[in-house]
Amino acid sequence: LQLVNALRYAIERKQLHVVYQPQVALRERAIIGAEALLRWESPELGNVSPAEFIPAAEESGLIQSIGAWVLREAVRQAVRWRAEGLPPVTMAVNLSAVQFRNTDLPKLITRILQEEGLPAEYLELELTEAVAANDPQGAIAMMNNLHERGVRMSIDDFGTGYSSLSHLKKFMAYKLKIDQSFVRDITTDAEDRAIVNAIIQMARSLGMRTIAEGVETIEQLSYLHEHHCDEIQGYYFSRPVAATAFRQLLLDGA
């Protein structure tokens, strides 16, 4: 409860901010995307992880306003970088289960894109596989709706959420994000390799891109590159950073 009370005023008090982690295309060797990740610096509680406060925000209903705020912040940042003439990047924003189930979500997204002036194809929405698998019919309908509006969808934490293959082909997903638990030991663990290879092959057959999360070493990167993973994200390239630091990464190139 203390958490929720503190969170209730966090936006007004400017305690929330967004950091950005680059998504790097392996063939092009270029940053082609940014994942927006929420941070909360509370004077009372210190730095609280979204893994902790998002569930509390969902239970209290605060997720609607926090989620809308993150979307607008991230879209605005993407517009700023475009206006500066920096290389174009897709902006990826995480959606919580509660946001995703809100039937007003498509309208909200379209309104934010129009008001801020970002073409829809530069916004990517990340939905975890677990949320999609939990209500496949609802997920298919929502993803179709967002897809028709030109927004890209990616399936986050892929490989951990038990979605059935018959549903997966109906999800209008642009990209599968291979969960970092499979990437961690990819250079030594034969089973993790087999899983990652299978995900990459399946995604290719279904016309989806793949991105590996949690890439920390050159060895992991090389393996993924050799096995035709399209993109990587992880500390090897950069931690999530403030907008000004991300801008410098774009200027420097990959």
Residues lying near Mn ion in the complex (CB under 5 A) are found at 94, 126, 156
Q: Closest distance between ligand G and the C-beta of residue 183, in Å?
A: 8
Q: Closest distance between ligand G and the C-beta of residue 100, in Å?
A: 9
The answer to whether 49 contacts ligand G (rule: CB under 6 A) is yes
Q: How far apart are CA 215 and CA 111, in angstroms?
A: 35
How many other C-beta atoms are found inside a 10 Å radius of the C-beta of residue 142?
24
Q: Closest distance between ligand G and the C-beta of residue 187, in Å?
A: 14
Contact 38, 60 (CB under 8 A): no
- Work out what residue 37 binds among Na ion, Mn ion, ligand G, none; the CB cut-off runs from 5 to 8 Å by kind: ligand G
Pick the stretch among 131-139, 192-200, 221-229, 234-242 that binds ligand G (CB under 6 A): 234-242
Q: How many residues does the chain have?
A: 254
Q: Closest distance between ligand G and the C-beta of residue 121, in Å?
A: 20
Which element (helix H / strand E) includes 124? Answer: strand 123-128
Q: Which positions from 114 through 153 interact with ligand G, judged by CB under 6 A?
A: none
Q: How far is residue 171 CA from its own chain's centroid?
A: 16
User: Which of these, 34, 61, 42, lies nearest to 3 by C-alpha position?
Assistant: 42
**In degrees rounded to 5, what are phi and psi of residue 187?**
-80, -15
The answer to whether 70 contacts ligand G (rule: CB under 6 A) is yes
Binding site for ligand G (CB under 6 A): 21, 37-38, 49-51, 54, 70, 94-96, 156-157, 180, 213-216, 234-235, 240
